[in-house]
Structure formats: C-alpha cells, structure tokens
Amino acid sequence: MSTFTQAPHKLLVIPGPIEVTDEVLYANAHPSVSHTAPDFIPVFGDCIRMLRDILYTTTAQPFIISGSGTLGWDQVASNLVEPGENALVLNSGYFGDSFSECLRIYGANVDEVHAAFGTVASLSLVEKALKSRKYKILAFTHVDTSTGVLSDAKAIAEVVQRVSPATLVVCDGVCSVASEEIRMDAWGLDVVLTAIRRQLSLSDEGCPRDVLLRSWKKWLPIMQAYEKGAPSYFATPPVNLIYAFNESLTQITKRSPSLEERFQLHREASKRIKDTVAELGLKQLALDPAHAANGMTAVYFPAGLGAADVLPRLAKRNVLVAGGLHKDAKERYFRIGHMGVTVTDKQRGDIDTVITALKESIAEAKASQNVVENRARYYPALFPPRACDSHGARQCMSCRPPSPANTQYRAPVAVAARRRDSAFRKRGDRGERTLATPSDAMTSHVQHSCIMDNLIQGHS
C-alpha cells in the first residue's frame, strides 16, 4: 500500500469529475508501459470483468474506449442506428437535448418524449410513442445532471419489452453507474454508457458499454483478446488511466464497502444533503423525491440571490459546487455532487464539510442581501428602481419602486452624503453643496456604504 497522499485542495463536489482516493491517483502515476506488455494485459482484462460485476451482467460485452462521456452517444449513433432509422429519446434535461442532437447528426429520425421541467418522462406517453411507430432504439438519461432527476430504468425497460420488444434500450448512465442500482440482465437493458470519472472515481473518462448484433466490429476482438490474456491492437488504450481504473474498480467490487453498501451510502448522503436543503428553506429542481438522484442534488438559489452570492462563499470555505446548466433556469440554481469516495469514506467527513459550508454560505449571503435591501428601503434616492427578470414573483428590494412610507428617510441620506463630494454639486459662490440627481448619487453609494449602514442601524 502506497504512503502517497494528495496535496491539500478544495473539496470538489460537482456532478463530475469528482474526488478520487489516494490509491487511485497513485495508480495513475504508474510508470509508462506498452499497451501490449505482459504486465498490462491482465490489468485491462480484469477491468472488463469487474465492469460486468458493477452492472450485474454476465452476458454483456464491456468496451473500454478513451474519450469524454459524450463519446458514448457517438458510439450508439454510429453503431446501432442507420441513417433514416427511427430513434426515440426520453428527454429530461440538457443531456436529453444533446443525445437527440447527436443521433440526428448521424442521420437518425429522432422523436422525443419531453418531461416537464424537474420531472421524468411519462411512461404512458412512452408507451403511446412506441405504439405509434417502429423504433430501432429508445435512449434515456438515467440521471440528467442538469436537473438532478433520476429516471426509472427498470420501468422504462419493462414498457419497451412489453410494447416493442425489438427496440433496443439504451441507458446513459454517465452520472449513475455505481451510485444508482443498474441491473442490465434482470431489467433487460441492451446498452449502458458511463464515464469513469464520476462514481467510478477516476480522474479522466472512458466509456464501458455493451455491444449487440454487428456493432463495434473492430473493437470486439480487442476486448475479447485482453479478457483472455492475449495482446491485440486496433487503437492504443490510455494505459495509465487503465491502471487507475483497475484500482477504482477493485475498490468497488472487492473491498469494503460492498457495491450494495455503496448504494445505501449514496442514499444516506443524498438524504442528508436534501434534508439540509429543506431545512434552509431551499427547493430542489426535482419535483418528486422518488425521482431525485442519489448522487447529486440540484438546488434553487434563495430568492434574490444568485451564483455570485453563493458559489464564491462556498469556495471560500473550500467547497466547489457547480452552477446551473439547464437552458430554462441555469442562472437560478446550483448543483452539488455527492458520489464516490466523498460518500463512501465517512472518515473524510466530506458530507459534513459540505453541509456546514452550505449553511454558513447561505446565511452569510442572506445577511448581505438584507443589508442591501435595507439600504434600498431607507435610501431609495440612491437605489432607484430597475428592471429585474431573475427573481420571479418576489423582486429584490433594489428592483421595487420605493414605498411612500420610506420617503421620510431621504434627509439622512443627504446628511450622510455631505461627507463625500462625489455625490454633490457645488451651488453658488459659498461652496454650498446639495444632493445631485439619483443617477449621479448612485455612482457613489458603494463607497458610502459604511455611513449608510450606521444610519440603517439607527432606523432599524
């Protein structure tokens, strides 16, 4: 066992890439060897076998191909669907949009069953679509990281098998494998795509996948040869990443906690994060708790606050989360990843760190917001109304017209502002100063904040 430890760094809790163990990172630093070296071949072969264990399959043929997780879409589109054939995509967010676009680029006729924002595709609509025409494949995103919504892979596969058994079921599991249960054989999933930089805890990506019919002809003998312990060549695999991948898979399949225990740990961590979100009065994008992912949580910002108010405060506390992604609301929410070693190694205390940082950051952001709103309430001359389309029904104070009841506090503004020439204009030879127009005064209100704070405290 190596004594290597990672350098201190901010805690990365986005929906991928994620934190990795010291052992995985050390394995990635393995000396460079040939992809046909006798020592490397069994390492690659073991990865293929362990992938089957994670997906609960004995019949699928894993493919390990280097590239971004989106390479999985290209593999499906170029191998399983001919130009002019029909594909049905269950669209629950950003990645449903992208999967559909990829299939269209390769020439497929794509129909979509759209889920309402924050929900999953209706199974009744899926069944209706399958009855309306013949589809070569049905593709869905198991966890769409743009919304944090978890689709029911088992139920979807059951509908396809009952209504259109010839249709291939393709599951995009980039953000679900090893944090959400996936049973390929028992559920009847034909293809599962994933990226090993997420729940599998590796710092770069690859796309293990199942193969059917005549697909992946050139890669099939390569994977079969490595699994049998023989060298073969079509394209060079990322050798060092395979060493790291092997270590990660070994931790998942052969060490404690077991795979079943990992699923439970992800459920527990997810509940803690989501309970904290509710405690803070925040809302999730996922409308139904039954369809909320266990490896991540998408959270709306508090009313009147945005990414600039919350994310830097989390980063100041050494916690890095992700901003929004969905086109309909990307400025209104943020995303927390809770998967892999962050969840499975409780001694690290990562979930505690995230919860503490979240509570402190939200409280600090709200306190800062209150100061700004108080300034706007008591000093409307310095905070004129402006258009605001980002806060929904509840506009922030700086966006509201000043209340007539607050006009009595305009005098203290003038008194306080007399101490700064920038907001005043000289009048007459005596050098007398008077408050300029509100737009002029606006330029200096930030510099005068300490003075206004004192006045606010006097009126609060």
DSSP of 235-259: S---HHHHHHHHHHHHHHHHSSSPH
* Predicted confidence (pLDDT) per residue in 300-336, tens digit: 999 999 999 999 999 999 999 999 999 999 999 999 9
Percent of the chain with pLDDT over 90: 66
Residue for token pair 């991928």: 16
Cα separation, 165 vs 61, in Å, equals 20
Least confident of 93-97, 167-171, 317-321, 390-394: 390-394
- Calpha distance 245→206 (Å, rounded): 9
Residue 53 has pLDDT above 50, yes or no: yes
The answer to whether the beta carbons of residues 233 and 223 sit under 8 Å apart is: no
Average pLDDT over residues 89-99: 94
pLDDT of residue 370: 76
Question: How many angstroms separate the Cα of 48 from the Cα of each of 54, 118, 220, 226, 402?
Answer: 10, 35, 12, 9, 66
The predicted structure's pLDDT at residue 381: 59
58, 63, 107 from 214: Cα distances, Å: 19, 14, 19
Domains in the chain, please, with CATH?
Answer: 11-254 (3.40.640.10), 259-370 (3.90.1150.10), 379-459 (no CATH)
The candidate with the shortest Cα–Cα distance to 358, out of 271, 279, 267, is: 279
Summary mean pLDDT of the chain: 83
Tokens of 458: 């006097």
Report the distance separating Cα 92 and Cα 95, nearest Å: 8
pLDDT at 203: 39
Above 70 in pLDDT, residue 289?
A: yes
Q: Which residue has the higher pLDDT, 343 or 392?
A: 343
CA distance 85 to 212: 17
In whole angstroms, what is the distance from residue 157 CA to residue 259 CA? Answer: 22
